[in-house]
Amino acid sequence: MSDEPRDNLKGGAWLLADLSLNIWSLSLVKWLGADYPASQIVFFRAFVGLMVISPLIWARRGEFCHLPQLPLHLLRVFLAAITLTASFFAIARLPLAVFTAVSFTRPIITMIMVAVLLREVIGMRGWIAASVALVGVVIAVNPGTMPWSWGVAAMVVVVIAASAVVVTTRALRAAPPIVMMTFYTIGLSVFSAPFAVMAWEPVPLGHLGALICVGCFAQAAQFCFLRAHFHGTAGYLSVLSYVSLILSVGVGYFVFKEVPGPSFTPGAILVIAASLWVTLSVRSEIRRV
């Protein structure tokens, strides 16, 4: 299965679904605010996700017989636990636009990591498009105006750990999705449970539905993320991921009344242009073949 050729258009479609689901999951976390410790939200997210996929785990139990890359699975879970905890801590303390601005250093770091560690060929078009999109992000959200906070510090951790998660995910491309999702959800539950118990805050009934939705959205996004990185190349997906700038600022504006600055429009145009460029170039390559 791992020998199946890459299909960037299919991978891009899965990635857009992943980005959309993640935005709504993070928006719910932001709506819940800083009243809950990050470890408690991570535990809820993982436990609900595990309940969602439990029937599928039983139906596909035969796929767990051979796990030749067990240490890599465990490393991926450990890095994901760090990423999610830091993300949930940061999103409750930062505007969505600022959260997105810092997180958009991830694609470049991811591209460097997969090129060095996994020997994936990115291509000049991918590097140029990623650089143009990154410039667009800087223009759109003007990070120079960001005040220092522990939320920003947490985002630095997110960038490094999340990039490493992508690298390990791509290294595990041959593993069945259900195996990776199971390791992910059980591992997150185990890692976060002790910290969640120590810092547990009572959950009012009005918040319970939102926490359950966080787990459902995030679990669905995890499946889309795995499919995206199974089908697509790192260079293409890294550039396309900048589209979440538009999604996050849109949600910030319409849901949280966070008004983007005047530089948002020209920056967003650069992001869209870079994403369209790599997408259309893939389509033209397919037609030539």
Range 247-268 average pLDDT = 80
C-beta separation of 21 from 218 below 8 A:
yes
The CA distance from 16 to 268, in Å, is 16
Question: pLDDT, tens digit, for every residue of 154-177?
Answer: 988 998 999 899 889 888 888 888
Question: pLDDT, tens digit, for every residue of 60-86?
Answer: 988 888 777 888 999 999 999 999 999
Residue 2 in any domain: the answer is: no
Residue 243 in any domain: the answer is: yes
The type of residue at 93 is: R
Pick the residue with more confidence: 233 or 154?
154
Residue 64 in any domain: the answer is: yes
Residue 3 in any domain: the answer is: no
C-beta separation of 172 from 73 below 8 A:
yes
Report how many domains make up the chain: 1
Residue 239 in any domain: the answer is: yes
pTM of the predicted structure, to 2 decimals:
0.74
Per the prediction, the chain carries an average pLDDT of 84
Half-sphere exposure of 44 (CA within 13 A, CB side): 25
Residue 234 in any domain: the answer is: yes
Residue 102 in any domain: the answer is: yes
Residue 183 in any domain: the answer is: yes
Q: Report pLDDT for 109.
A: 79
> Structural domain of residue 201, as residue ranges?
8-288
Contact residues for 85 (Cβ-Cβ < 8 A; gap 6+) = 38, 39, 42, 192, 195
